Amino acid sequence: MRGLEGRVALVTGAGGGIGRAICSRFVEEGINVIAADIDEGSLRSFSQSMGSGRGAYPVRLDITDFTAVQKAVEDAVSRFGCVDILVNNAGWDTAKPFVETAPDFWDKVIAINLKGPLNLHHAVLPHMMRTGQGKIINIASDAGRVGSSGEAVYSACKGGLISFTKTIARECAARNIVVNAVCPGPTDTPLLLSVAGDGEYGKQIFDRLRKAIPLKRLGQPADLPGIVAFLASDDANFITGQTISVSGGLTMHG
């Protein structure tokens, strides 16, 4: 795709299924990728899967830590001179009815799924403004568009991220910074399995989702990198503030 060779991207949740697939595609496109994840084991596995001499640079990062995020971005800018592309992909949840949850659970879900992306935007945007260009792709969820049983707080966070995406797209358009959201539907990743858990409630949700998808299969991590790479490329320079579902037809919007 046009305009990706030599760019610098920061991808969060890089050790997971979707994040790893995005990083791999970015490297194939010639992008230098700062691959951030909080889990050191996932980062080691990521490094082994990428092999040596590739354009991916693993960084352990807790996206809920504002100071740590600021430092990670400054380090990236010191090393590469800029951050051209930001992909907010990290996320976490556990499926349970809202009335069975408690404030400490809400706080963790909000910190990872909403405040984390806010931290990254706040750290990266000044550098994009300085260079006069940038691409931000926020990995939201169809749960934020239509709701999802058992994921009330997660859905609220993803709905907030979609609205935040549109607002930052408006605020930064004059600076040549485009911001879009990609909403995966149910995707066969460790996160989905962890959300479903071992309980009957989570399994029921999992089975209902799979049966409801018109294409009759769960999404795979490999289904996401194409749209993300497109939105990061010069082919998408006139697309901003949009929300795009990759859900096998589970959600269809006019």
E strand or H helix that includes residue 104? helix 103-110
Q: Is the dihedral of CA 26, 168, 67, 191 positive or negative?
A: negative
Relative orientation angle of helices 152-172 and 103-110, to the nearest 10 degrees: 30
Q: 26, 57, 92, 154: which one is catalytic?
A: 154
Give the number of C-alpha atoms closer than 13 A to the C-alpha of residue 56, restricted to the C-beta side.
30
Output the CA angle 223-136-215, nearest 5 degrees.
20
Considering all CA atoms of the chain, what is the largest pairwise distance in Å, rounded to the nearest integer?
Answer: 51
Known active-site residue 57: no
Catalytically active residues, by annotation: 154
